[in-house]
Amino acid sequence: MRLPAEQRRTQLLDIAIELFAEHGFHSTSMEDIADAAGVTKPVLYQHFPSKRALYRELIDDVDAKLTHQLVLATATATTGRERVQEGFVAYFRFVAEHRAAFRLLFGSSVRNDPEFTLVADATIERFADLIADLIEIDAAPEHRRTLAHAVVGMAEATSRRVTNDEGEGDPERLAHWLAEMTWFGLRGVRSEQTAGDRT
């Protein structure tokens, strides 16, 4: 069936992300994607000039969607505790509903290619910056960014278990567990000056 161009493009992206997540960048060919979509390779190349361009667009799309969800979820929170909770809920819901997207962004294929590694690292940096701005403690900006990276790493490691069908997979429960640990952990963080005064 002939689809409108934008609808066809969306279909191709949806199929490509599943194949890339399952088989990796190098083991997935444009022919594989075209076959799965029921189109010819020329049709696929009408939308994406190369496999690398397609993969890069997928990574950028996942980045934008996840960032949007995190910003949206935390924007309406009125307390620091609520921001932590809602941020984790949004994140784990996204992972649960878009497992292929998570594997694409944090999987081994990204780390096996210098260009994609830079894109993934930039995404993680943006997440850390977003979280650092939400950490309301008396500490230097670099201190908060380091803590934010720790939060990102904790969420990523937990999500790997979810996407591998290991452990608890309910987004609300995972969010509650990690938000509780994060919140009370951050409450115990002291600035370097304060910590020095107490030693």
Residue 196 pLDDT grade (very low, low, confident, very high; cuts 50, 70, 90): very low
Lowest mean pLDDT among 34-38, 52-56, 119-123: 119-123
**Nearest CA among 90, 83, 103, 105 for reference residue 162:** 103
pTM: 0.83
Rounded distance between C-alpha atoms, residue 163 and residue 194, angstroms: 41
Could you tell me the CA-to-CA distances from 16 to 87, 133, 153, 172, 187 in Å, in that order?
28, 34, 26, 29, 43
Q: What is the pLDDT of residue 40?
A: 94
Contact 171, 96 (CB under 8 A): yes
Provide, rounded to the nearest whole percent, the portion of the chain with pLDDT above 70. 93
Q: How many residues does the chain have?
A: 199
In the chain, where the domains are located:
53-188
User: CATH classification of 53-188 is 1.10.357.10, yes or no?
Assistant: yes
Burial pattern 76-85, b for ≥16 Cβ within 10 A else e, equals eeeeebebbb
pLDDT digits (tens, 9 = 90+) for 73-122: 999 888 888 988 999 999 999 999 999 998 888 887 788 888 888 888 88
